[in-house]
């Protein structure tokens, strides 16, 4: 008979909520952050409510709409389920099994983060021009998004003791059962939070599905916007995307559970047979091969062709690179600043209205870039026309779009700082703010850095909002790549693609190199 492991009785449940009422300034900042990132949503609401009800019916009755919804949900569910399963598996292999060169493997498994989805499909299309539809879209999106689960789960696994599993084994559980009943509950919050990012990524992806001709809602929105006489339909379709995102965020609230941390004790790992090692290495290598290696081969082939070398313009490439790096760093910083108050509030205070607020902070992640871009065109034109088509609005758009990426990691890393430490600091004479500055921030910094890097990477890859909002005459690597690809100049696009991969790969590598738990583990 399997024995249930007794959970430690929360004798001190008082402590977690002991910090008392959230301070007014923190609540104000968090609400401001949510209001800020809600601007596109509000505009969308305004647009959609301007649509006459007769038109709504007409839009919904189109057979295409049903198909778009079905395709979108099917693809998003398939990709996030794959990412959760594969990401957890890979993280377990890398952190818990004696696969050898574990840190290198973790680095490699993070590489797909560096590859924009449209670039992966571009690379595959160069090699296999015929691919299209659900299966290639699912496979490629999965390969690109698996690290969103692998990294947080690996961090959670490093933060939990492997002893629980060993104890479960002595209580008569098999390895798989022991993992399922002991380790999975501990990494589940991280896996599900990662899965949410993947779902929302897939929901908003445009470039890849457009290239692989799989018609989802984002594609529908894009089509409707391009046919600019009928923006109502685009607003209605975008509204559908928002509804799906709301439902998923709400479901994640329920499924996540709370993050618990134990001190990591690294028990000895069992040695593996050579054949098992090869098999496990293949599993870990699969996403990087599909999402990075094959597309890069495709790219490399284009890069080596004579037409590419003839049209190469180093000055323009340099300008695009500088712009890309500059706006990415600015966006990462701004997104982190927006996410911090909300993360601090959600990590330290368990109230229903706070989780609702936090959920609202995630919504912009479900919005396609094109919707955020266009709504900000509208917003800047009507509210701050002097900023229209300036870098300020562009960076703001990125921050709005990618704040959720910083939010999850920021929340988890603040949650990882024991509340007792804050209380001790307070009794030692530190004010709330001082305790925050001297204890929480230094301890949460690695996690906050990861959040900022996730934003920077996403910004470098962002395409549709950039196309709409970039200042006249300037361009980023992504827009250069897209405009050349759209014009059929696959060769001319290749250098931009190559640099994009290079500069996005650097933060991705740093990301997997950072230890999520700092000094206490060293």
Pick 289 or 430: Cβ nearer other proteins: 430
Spatial separation of the C-alpha atoms in residues 218 and 374, rounded to whole Å: 14
Pick 20 or 63: Cβ nearer other proteins: 20
Name the helix (H) or strand (E) containing 54.
helix 53-61
Nearest approach, Cβ of residue 267 and other proteins (Å): 18
Nearest approach, Cβ of residue 437 and other proteins (Å): 12
Write out the residues near other proteins by the rule CB under 8 A. 11-15, 17-20, 418, 420-421, 423-432, 434-435, 438-439, 442-443, 518-520, 522
Nearest approach, Cβ of residue 452 and other proteins (Å): 19
Judge contact between 106 and 279, C-beta under 8 A. no
Nearest approach, Cβ of residue 8 and other proteins (Å): 12
Six-digit token string for 22:
């959230």
Pick 226 or 263: Cβ nearer other proteins: 263
Spatial separation of the C-alpha atoms in residues 79 and 145, rounded to whole Å: 8
Six-digit token string for 423:
């209380």
Nearest approach, Cβ of residue 31 and other proteins (Å): 23
Nearest approach, Cβ of residue 517 and other proteins (Å): 9
**DSSP string for residues in 454-519:** HHHHHHHH--HHHHHHSPTT---HHHHHHHHHHTT-HHHHHHHHHHHHHHHHHHHHHHHHS-SS-G
Pick 18 or 250: Cβ nearer other proteins: 18
- The secondary structure of 169-194, three-state, reads HHCCCCHHHHHHHHHHHHHHHHHHHH
Residue with tokens 């690294």: 266
Q: How many CA atoms lie within 13 A of 417 on its CB side?
A: 28
Nearest approach, Cβ of residue 427 and other proteins (Å): 4
Nearest approach, Cβ of residue 210 and other proteins (Å): 46
* 3-state SS, residue 283: helix
Spatial separation of the C-alpha atoms in residues 177 and 181, rounded to whole Å: 6
Pick 284 or 354: Cβ nearer other proteins: 354
Nearest approach, Cβ of residue 413 and other proteins (Å): 13
Nearest approach, Cβ of residue 168 and other proteins (Å): 24
Pick 106 or 435: Cβ nearer other proteins: 435
**DSSP string for residues in 292-308:** IIHHHHHHHHHHTSHHH
Pick 54 or 427: Cβ nearer other proteins: 427
Rounded to a whole number of angstroms, the CA Rg of the chain reads 23
Pick 12 or 310: Cβ nearer other proteins: 12
Pick 503 or 518: Cβ nearer other proteins: 518
Residue with tokens 């929302």: 200
Residue-level length of the chain: 522
Pick 21 or 310: Cβ nearer other proteins: 21
Q: Rounded to the nearest 5 degrees, what angle is found at the Cα of 366, between the Cα atoms of 362 and 372?
A: 100
Spatial separation of the C-alpha atoms in residues 136 and 139, rounded to whole Å: 5
């Amino acid at each position: 008979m399997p024995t249930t492991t007794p959970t430690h009785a929360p004798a001190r449940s008082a402590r977690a909520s002991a910090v008392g009422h959230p301070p007014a300034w923190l609540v104000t900042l968090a609400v401001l952050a949510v209001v800020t990132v809600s601007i596109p949503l509000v505009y969308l609401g305004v647009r959609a409510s301007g649509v006459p009800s007769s038109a709504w019916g007409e839009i919904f009755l189109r057979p295409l709409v049903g198909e778009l919804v079905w395709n979108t949900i099917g693809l998003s569910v398939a990709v996030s389920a794959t990412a959760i399963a594969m990401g957890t598996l890979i993280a377990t292999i890398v952190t818990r099994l004696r696969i050898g060169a574990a840190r290198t493997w973790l680095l490699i498994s993070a590489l797909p983060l560096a590859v924009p989805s449209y670039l992966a499909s571009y690379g595959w299309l160069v090699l296999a021009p015929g691919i299209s539809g659900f299966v290639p879209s699912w496979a490629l999106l999965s390969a690109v998004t698996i690290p969103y689960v692998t990294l947080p789960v690996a961090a959670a696994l490093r933060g939990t003791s492997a002893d629980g599993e060993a104890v479960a084994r002595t209580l008569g559980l098999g390895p798989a059962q022991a993992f399922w009943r002991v380790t999975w509950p501990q990494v589940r919050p991280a896996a599900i939070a990662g899965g949410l990012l993947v779902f929302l990524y897939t929901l908003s992806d445009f470039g890849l599905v457009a290239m692989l001709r799989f018609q989802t809602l984002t594609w529908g929105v894009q089509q409707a916007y391009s046919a600019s006489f009928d923006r109502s339909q685009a607003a209605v379709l975008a509204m559908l995307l928002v509804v799906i995102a709301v439902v998923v965020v709400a479901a994640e609230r329920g499924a996540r559970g709370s993050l618990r941390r134990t001190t990591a004790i690294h028990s000895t790992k069992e040695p593996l047979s050579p054949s098992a090692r090869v098999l496990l290495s293949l599993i870990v290598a699969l996403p990087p091969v599909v999402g990075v290696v094959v597309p890069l081969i495709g790219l490399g082939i284009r890069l080596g062709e004579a037409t590419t070398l003839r049209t190469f313009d180093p000055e323009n490439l340099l300008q695009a690179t500088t712009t890309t790096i500059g706006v990415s760093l600015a966006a990462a910083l701004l997104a982190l600043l927006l996410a911090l108050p909300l993360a601090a509030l959600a990590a330290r205070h368990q109230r229903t209205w706070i989780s609702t607020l936090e959920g609202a902070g995630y919504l912009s992640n479900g919005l396609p870039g094109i919707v955020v871009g266009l709504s900000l065109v509208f917003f800047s034109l009507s509210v701050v026309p002097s900023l229209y088509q300036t870098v300020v609005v562009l960076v703001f758009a990125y921050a709005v779009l990618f704040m959720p990426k910083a939010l999850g990691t920021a929340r988890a890393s603040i949650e990882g700082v024991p509340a007792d430490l804050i209380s001790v600091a307070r009794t030692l004479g530190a004010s709330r703010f001082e305790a925050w500055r001297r204890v929480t921030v230094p301890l949460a910094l690695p996690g906050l850095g990861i959040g900022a890097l996730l934003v920077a990477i996403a910004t470098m890859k962002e395409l549709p909002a950039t196309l709409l909002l970039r200042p006249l005459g300037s361009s980023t690597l992504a827009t250069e790549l897209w405009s050349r690809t759209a014009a059929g100049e696959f060769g001319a696009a290749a250098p931009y693609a190559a640099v994009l991969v290079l500069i996005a790969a650097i933060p991705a590598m740093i990301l997997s190199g950072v230890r999520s738990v700092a000094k206490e583990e060293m």
